[in-house]
Amino acid sequence: MGRFGSWYERWNSTLIRKMGPSQIGAGHPEGVDDRSVDRPCPMCGAALSRHQVIRPEGQVRSSTLVCPRD
């Protein structure tokens, strides 16, 4: 890991111990999620339920939306 890696690990664990874990969310009460599965695709206009979503493993590549061909 090296000197920097061990220093960072100590620094990170000290910060988490003092300040707590990171806050996740919008920071305010969120309303109901009103997105519908069958809303139109912004690129082709077909319903999103007819599309294929390719989600690769890991965090190297982003997800890909594949539009229907018909």
- 58 is written with which tokens? 């890991």
* 11 pLDDT above the threshold of 70: yes
Task: Determine the pLDDT at residue 70.
Answer: 73
Q: For 15-57, where are the E strands, in sequence order?
A: 52-54
Q: What is the pTM of this model?
A: 0.45
Beta-strand ranges (E) seen in the chain are: 52-54, 64-66
Q: What is the pLDDT of residue 46?
A: 92
Residue 22 pLDDT > 80: no
24 DSSP assignment? -
Domain presence at residue 12: no
**What rounded mean pLDDT belongs to the chain?**
83
Q: Does 32 fall in a domain? A: no
Confidence of residue 19 (pLDDT cuts 50, 70, 90): confident
d(Cα 69, Cα 63) in Å, to the nearest integer?
19
**Separation between Cα atoms, residue 6 and residue 13, nearest integer Å:** 11
Domain-located, residue 16: no
The confidence score (pLDDT) of residue 37 equals 64
Domain of 44, in residue numbers? 38-70
